[in-house]
Chains A and B, each alone.
Chain A
Amino acid sequence: MKPVAKSSPAGNPLDADTRSCIEQIIQPMTGLPGALLPILHAIQDAFGHVPAASVPLIANALNLSRAEVHGVISFYHDFRSTQPGRHVLKLCRAEACQAMGARALEAQLVSRLGIGFHETTADGSITLEPVYCLGNCACAPSAMLDDKVHGRLTLQRLDALIDGCGKAS
């Protein structure tokens, strides 16, 4: 299970604009069968995370308890309750990438960025996440920077990716 971000049950109160924006995302989807995941994705796409204060709004719209909504958010690795860094770097830790040196890439990332998985650099540039397979297993090792997969990574190419995120060593 992923660690759940610590925050008060209601989180920070939403300003009127954010609240209205979230309501506009939720409202047209309430009729969808099994609407919760699509709604959570849409909110996270819009805000980079699912603000804790949106939970009561979602719960109310779908006739669920806040605990049920929170339970779903905390179950899935993708959903986050806090804002990530400007870039999200997901390093593949699965077997095909291991066979091509992913463990060395992991060690380099952790030492260069000074953070572990699920953490964000102090300057807010990169959030590091593990991922278990990006489907690029014949061109391993792989990482995904924001929405783009990079294959045949080497220590140098990984460094270049990090440089591109504005994080100097």
Chain B
Amino acid sequence: MNVRIYVPRDTSANACGADEVAAAIDEHAQARGIAIELVRNGSRGMCWLEPLVEVETERGRIGFGPLTVEAVAGLFDAGFPNADTHALCLGPVEDIDWLKQQQRVCFSRNGIIDPISLDDFEAHGGWQGARRALAMTPQDIVSAVTESGLRGRGGAAFPCGIKWQTVHDQPAAQKFIVCNADEGDSGTFSDRMILEGDPYRLIEGMLIAGIACGATQAYVYLRSEYPLARRVLSEAILRARTAGWLGADVAGSGRAFDIDLRIGAGAYICGEETSLLESLEGKRGQVRFKPPLPAIKGLFGQPTVINNLITLASVPDVLVNGAQWYRDLGYGRSRGTLPIQLTGNIRRGGLVELGFGVSLRELLYDYGGGSASGRPIRAVQVGGPLGAYLPESQFDTVIDYEAFAAIDAMLGHGGIVVFDDTVDMAEQARFAMEFCAIESCGKCTPCRIGSRRGVEVIDRLRQGVDAQANRVLLDSLCDTMQHGSLCALGGLTPLPVKSALRHFSEDFHSTKVQLCRSPFRGDAFQQAASAMNDLLQEPWQHIGK
């Protein structure tokens, strides 16, 4: 019998050489007359061990990693596939504490199954949620999602059930389900991992949403930076259609539901829901005014459920195990699990799925093992480029939407980027403004102009030019952006800037301690206010710089 060997086909694993390792294993096995069956699975999320190769044995799947092409010959010399004594042998993968201690709900199948095998999917609990949904009334499905306490995983944490209920209640001939897979936040890749490792999970979640809300057409809006995810999902949609899970008569139920995959074009703003809808309609990805909400007037003016990919991928388990089961996981008003991504300067980076309530410190040190460089962790940015920078004194904050809001931070899509003590926080604050300037859709002035002015003000601060006045100006600019922007891009860019100023003021200028402590409202304030007025009166000459 052929020995089954798993080599991930996942962007991160491939970026570290998985394709080449797979080819080398195949070659060496053939040369040595060893009969193997090579399966390209998704990733388990233990990114620091990628490429992580697994061998199926009677004792479970034995892992080897991180492998390199160069190590493959030595592995075979040590008896691979039976090479337990090899230095890179990790023993049974399921016994690795990092993985074993997680609560994998969304990621229960990732790394285990062949992502595009419908048989594998079904053998590991796939379609159970959809089957259940097909036997329920739409209202019962919506109620179950509401009772589960599931909140949007894209960052805004809006209760999913309320959104579904709104669309459910709209009388309309055509409604839409839209999956937001425009995962643009740095430090996040959970959407990508589902697409590459368990794509039918998303299809099942979207199908359930369609049944619940009365939508027959769905779209996945996927960012163009994920070419592998695109290939895997395209293949999965085709196979699901062939198998009758998508199309005019889903699983013989007489109901129609289909999914179309659309690719973004490199605009971060299209992760904002109304901008995404504009883009899907073939327009510039500019933010819409709300109201009307997308649930009432969304894609092509029709009632639309637009959910983050992880939200939709969480739904099948809610139906299979019940709303109460899901609700029992979690903390405070944050129910269920969150796939957390440990990234940046971290020793054991990857995907950790846990019920809400774990502390940042446990994640950084128990799971993450501290920084990759071995230097002290100085700051972590949680929630993407619009998330706050947190200092060590806030590492005991627990993963919970409200706990993060209470310290002027946010969880966002669950990405944690770790920086060691070599980071220059003034440079990070500047980058936050720069990124906003590059990615602003241009519709509202505080974001479009404010971000450009923000870069300049921080530059002057760092050069020590008129430090007091510029510090006041920066605070005022942050307030304007926060309160005056149309969407979260301009509205939240001040979060990383202000948190860097608050917690790491020593990085901004040599006189900063004195600055922060003096509650000045005198000349400097007046000066700043007048400078601000000038800016707002003649912004046009700066555009295009």
A residues lining the B interface (CB < 8 Å): 1, 33-38, 40-41, 62, 68, 71-72, 75-79, 94-100, 131-140, 142, 144, 147-152
Q: Do A77 and B262 form a contact, CB below 8 Å, given A99-B417, A152-B16? A: no
CB neighbours (8 Å) of A136 from chain B are 11-12, 15, 189
Would you call B117 an interface residue if the criterion is a C-beta within 8 Å of the partner chain's C-beta atoms? no
- Give Cα A152–Cα B288 distance, bound, in whole angstroms: 39
Q: Shortest distance in angstroms between B496's beta carbon and chain A's nearest beta carbon? A: 9
Q: Which of B11, B264, B342 has the most CB of A within 10 A?
A: B11
Contact B15 A151 (CB under 8 A): yes
Collect the chain A residues with CB atoms within 8 Å of residue B264's CB: 37, 76, 78
How far, in angstroms, from A35 to B50 measured CA to CA in the complex?
A: 39
Name which residue of chain A comes closest to B46, CB basis.
Answer: A138
Select the residue from B281, B283, B420, B431 with max chain A CB neighbours within 10 A.
Answer: B283
Contact B344 A95 (CB under 8 A): yes
Of the candidate stretches B126-134, B345-353, B458-466, the one touching chain A is B345-353
Within the complex, which residue of A1, A34, A147 is in contact with B282, where a contact is CB–CB below 8 Å?
A34
Contact B385 A94 (CB under 8 A): yes
Knowing A35-B282, A75-B285, say if A139 contacts B185 (CB, 8 Å). no
B394 within 8 A of A: no
- Size class of the B contact interface (CB-based, 8 Å): 35 or more
Could you tell me if B281 and A1 are in contact, using CB atoms closer than 8 angstroms? no
Within 8 A of A (CB), among B289-326: 300
Tell which of A76, A98, A135 touches B285, judged by Cβ atoms closer than 8 Å: A76
Set B262, B351, B381, B442: member contacting A38, Cβ < 8 A: B262
Look across to chain A and name the residue whose beta carbon is closest to the beta carbon of B279. Answer: A37
Q: Is B497 part of the contact surface with A, judged by Cβ < 8 Å? A: no
Cβ of B188 within 8 Å of any chain A Cβ, yes or no, is yes
Within 8 Å of chain A (Cβ to Cβ): is B267?
yes
**Cβ-defined contact, A132 with B184, below 8 A:** yes
Q: Please pick, from B16, B283, B345, B385, the residue contacting A139 in the complex, using a CB distance under 8 A.
A: B16
| A97 & B12 in contact (Cβ 8 Å cutoff) | no
B370-391 interface with A by 8 A CB criterion: 372, 381, 385
Q: Shortest distance in angstroms between B275's beta carbon and chain A's nearest beta carbon?
A: 10
Instruction: Give me the 6 closest cross-chain CB pairs, A-B, nearest first.
Output: A138-B349, A151-B15, A94-B186, A36-B282, A76-B265, A99-B344
Known: A95-B428, A100-B372, A132-B435. A138 touches B266 (CB 8 A): no
A34-B262, A96-B187, A144-B225 in contact; A139/B50 too (CB < 8 A)?
Answer: yes
Docked complex Cα distance between A66 and B266 (Å) = 22
Given contacts A72-B283, A132-B439, contact A137 B184 (CB under 8 A): no
What are the residues of chain B within 8 A of A139 when measuring CB–CB? 12, 15-16, 47-48, 50, 349
Cα(A99)–Cα(B347), bound, Å: 12
Chain A residues with CB under 8 Å of B286's CB are 75
- Let me know if B143 is at the binding interface, CB within 8 A: no
Residues of A within 8 A of B419 (CB): 99
